[in-house]
Amino acid sequence: MTNNDIFKKLRVAHKLRDDDIVKILELVDFRISKSELNAFFRREDHPKYVECGDQILRNFLNGLIIHLRGPMPKSNKQKKSPQ
């Protein structure tokens, strides 16, 4: 199973549109255009098909976590200063 297959299955499972995916990637400061995104969802024999790299899938998964759960809360622990 390729990264493109995983990306497609997550898109369908979460009922995400292109706009949603672009916004999810922006949550982790990763910018991508809709046309670049659509190249991942094309058939492998299409001339404009592009393989989805590990970095894009990783950023999408991290953004999806933030989208679904919300941002990670800040830690209240403060380091003690040496006396």
Domain range summary for the chain, segments of one domain joined by +: 3-69
49-63: pLDDT as tens digits: 999 999 999 999 999
CA neighbor of 24 nearest in space, from 69, 60, 57: 60
Angle (nearest 5°) at CA 7 between 3 and 13? 145
Taking a C-beta distance cutoff of 8 angstroms, is the pair 75, 26 a contact?
no
- At 73 the pLDDT is 77
pTM for this prediction:
0.81
Taking a C-beta distance cutoff of 8 angstroms, is the pair 40, 54 a contact?
no
DSSP-derived 3-state class of residue 49: coil
Is the per-residue pLDDT at 72 higher than 80? no
